[in-house]
Structure 1
């Protein structure tokens, strides 16, 4: 497996990354409320993410794992961490989180942060094993219950 590489706004692999995310997040359909934002994700939105200072990293060609990084005040936000079903348990998620930690260090940011849906308890456990701790509970607009949690990893 090749090391993750940065995917730029003009990279033809953007469509493959989007397909990976859709496959990897499909199990959430009917399980989380509101539905995943991946349904609104397009190649054009991914290009915008890159052009606005965000980063997309992917491993493999075609991609079998990816992560989106967004610098924020006080942290580097991790989004759309996806690993193809056939590669789960192979250490790719850890490799991408380690990459994110290096990028945060490069940017002078002291922490990584992510959000995961309240229903996806297996993701909570995975991120806890990677060193993240729960720091907040949140509700999507229009919901009067907790819909996701924020997790943070101090570097």
Structure 2
């Protein structure tokens, strides 16, 4: 057994663990985000379908246990990442940063121009992390049914 975490590309067989990791990682936001995070609607079946249609995921694991993950999808010449998740028991070890760096590496491998993400306006700590990694705000948008922005879009050019 090793105490070293490894990153790898997920397969469809990982869908149940991806859904469980996302649910556990986002649990702290239940009832605190308006509108509620779409992460609570993620299912193993839905993730498997996304992977089958060409989306991807990167996982962080130790000794076969998934500690974190991030979902990715190409959009407008960039790689978009979402559902950045690290289990509460694995936080503080730099896994979120490693997962983001892996996303950037995947975008470079694909020859894409940049990396994009969306983050809720109320999650200022997450915004600070992304800004510290070179992501800059590109726009704000409102979720359906809201007349004020609820989310910030950020992008980091690669090159």
Asked if Structure 1 and Structure 2 have the same fold, meaning a TM-score greater than 0.5 normalized by the shorter chain, the answer is: yes
Q: Does 1:34 align with 2:35?
A: yes
| Residue deviations 1:40-76 (CA, integer Å, cap 9, x gap) | 1111110111111111111112210101110111210
Segment of structure 1 superposing worse, 66-75 or 85-94: 85-94
Q: CA deviation at 1:2?
A: 3.2
Residue 44 (structure 2) aligns with? 43
Q: Which runs of 4+ in 1 moved over 2 A?
A: none
Q: CA deviation at 1:4?
A: 1.0
Q: Does 1:25 align with 2:23?
A: no
Q: Does 1:96 align with 2:75?
A: no
RMSD of aligned Cα (Å): 1.1
Contact map agreement 2:70 2:84 (CA 8 A) in 1: yes
Distance in 1 (alpha carbons) for counterparts of 2:6 and 2:155: 24
| Residue deviations 1:54-102 (CA, integer Å, cap 9, x gap) | 1111111221010111011121000111111222221111111111111
How many pairs does the alignment contain? 153
Contact map agreement 2:15 2:45 (CA 8 A) in 1: no
Residue 14 (structure 1) aligns with? 15
Distance in 2 (alpha carbons) for counterparts of 1:77 and 1:70: 5
